[in-house]
């Protein structure tokens, strides 16, 4: 029973991180209709930016965190306006945009490697303390903060997309960009907003990840694979679906290693990804077009 509870807790913690990455990815995909794999490197660059502000410049952590989220949103806007928008003007296909996004991811990872080096970084903000015991399972205070923070942000994001004026406009553009333009909605501006918001969420995820884990240049690739898989499982065009799929992935990975060696954790994610792409590519809650409410 204690092992079951520990794996359940670990799955929820992992799922919370995956859900933050997947929700930003899903938001960007739904309004832009191309796969932004460089979304993973937004987490990486944001984590290093936080490290630079807090560990190297000595800024207050909360101020550094706020600046990191703002920086992440700005970086997302720059990547769209300076990169993807220019390709769109040249009538680039989605395949070209996909390859370009992978190139951008590799470029940003190598820049972090060049600037900060290959050795892992850590914030060392909190002292390691004994966690709380729940039925024989252990969870630390930091892990509770990560789960609660992620759930609160995801709930706010869902309310924003469903009820806020900008959120409704994003859904309209995602559903039918041509009709949205006819109705006077500037779809390009909405695409920019989606990159800003989605990347800001990635910045928030970077803060939580940096608090518990080490920071390294290649972390973005792993995160976007997990976020992409979670989005595919739940439905890449469905914000609630992407969140649900991410938690299911986190649970599947952790319960999977109950029977398999821990080295197979990533393999479990790939197996689930291939199964859903073959059997149900629209995902559990996904629909063919738009952001599902």
Half-sphere exposure of 53 (CA within 13 A, CB side): 20
Long-range CB contacts for residues 134-137, cutoff 8 Å, separation at least 24: 134/5, 134/9, 135/1, 135/2, 135/5, 136/1, 136/2, 136/5, 136/6, 137/2, 137/5, 137/6, 137/8, 137/9
Fold for the domain defined by 2-279: ABC transporter involved in vitamin B12 uptake, BtuC (1.10.3470)
Residue 128: is its pLDDT beyond 70? no
CA angle 116, 39, 205 (to 5 degrees): 75
Residue 23: is its pLDDT beyond 50? yes
CA atoms of 182 and 187, how far apart (whole Å): 10
Residue 278: is its pLDDT beyond 70? yes
pLDDT digits over 191-250, tens only? 999 999 999 999 999 999 998 888 999 898 889 999 999 999 988 888 888 999 999 999
Residue 112 φ/ψ, nearest 5 degrees:
-65, -40
* pLDDT for position 196: 96
CA atoms of 228 and 255, how far apart (whole Å): 20
pLDDT tier, 292 (very low <50, low <70, confident <90, very high otherwise): very low
* pLDDT for position 170: 87
pLDDT tier, 264 (very low <50, low <70, confident <90, very high otherwise): confident
CA atoms of 134 and 95, how far apart (whole Å): 48
pLDDT digits over 59-102, tens only? 999 999 999 999 999 999 999 999 999 998 998 888 899 999 99
Residue 133 φ/ψ, nearest 5 degrees:
-95, 125
- Sequence ranges of the domains in the chain: 2-279
High-pLDDT (> 90) share of the chain, %: 51
Spell out the SS3 assignment of 135-193.
Answer: CCEEECHHHHHHHHHHHHHHHHHHHHHHHCHHHHHHHHHHHCHHHHHHCCCCHHHHHHH
Helix %, strand %, coil % of the chain (to 5): 75, 5, 20
Based on DSSP, count helices (H) and strands (E) in the chain, helices before strands.
Answer: 12, 2
Hey, what are 75's tokens?
A: 């970086």
Residue 293: is its pLDDT beyond 80? no
* pLDDT for position 46: 96
| Other Cβ atoms closer than 10 A to 14 | 20
DSSP bridge pairs for 139: 132
């Amino acid at each position: 029973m204690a092992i079951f509870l520990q794996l359940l807790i670990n799955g929820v913690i992992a799922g919370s991180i995956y859900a933050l990455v997947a929700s930003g990815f899903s938001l960007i995909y739904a309004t832009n209709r191309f796969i932004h794999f460089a979304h993973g490197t937004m987490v990486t660059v944001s984590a290093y930016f936080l490290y630079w502000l807090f560990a190297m410049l000595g800024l207050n952590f909360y101020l550094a965190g706020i600046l990191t989220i703002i920086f992440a949103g700005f970086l997302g806007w720059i990547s769209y306006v300076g990169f993807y928008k220019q390709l769109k003007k040249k009538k680039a296909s989605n395949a070209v945009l996909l390859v370009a996004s992978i190139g951008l991811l590799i470029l940003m990872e190598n820049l972090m490697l060049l600037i900060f080096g290959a050795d892992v970084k850590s914030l060392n903000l909190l002292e390691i303390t004994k966690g709380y015991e729940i039925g024989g399972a252990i969870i630390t205070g930091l892990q509770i903060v990560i789960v609660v923070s992620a759930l609160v942000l995801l709930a706010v994001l869902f309310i924003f997309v469903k009820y806020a004026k900008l959120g409704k406009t994003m859904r309209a553009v995602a559903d039918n960009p041509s009709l949205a333009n006819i109705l006077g909605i500037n779809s390009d501006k909405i695409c920019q907003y989606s990159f800003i918001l989605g990347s800001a969420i990635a910045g928030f995820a970077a803060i939580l990840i940096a608090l518990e884990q080490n920071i390294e240049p290649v972390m973005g690739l792993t995160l976007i694979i997990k976020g992409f898989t979670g989005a595919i499982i739940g439905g890449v065009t469905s914000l609630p679906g992407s969140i649900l799929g991410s938690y299911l992935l986190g649970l599947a990975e952790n319960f999977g290693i109950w029977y398999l060696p821990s080295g197979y954790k990533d393999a479990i994610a790939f197996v689930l990804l291939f199964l859903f792409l073959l059997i149900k590519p629209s995902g559990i809650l996904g629909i063919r077009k738009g952001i599902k409410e």
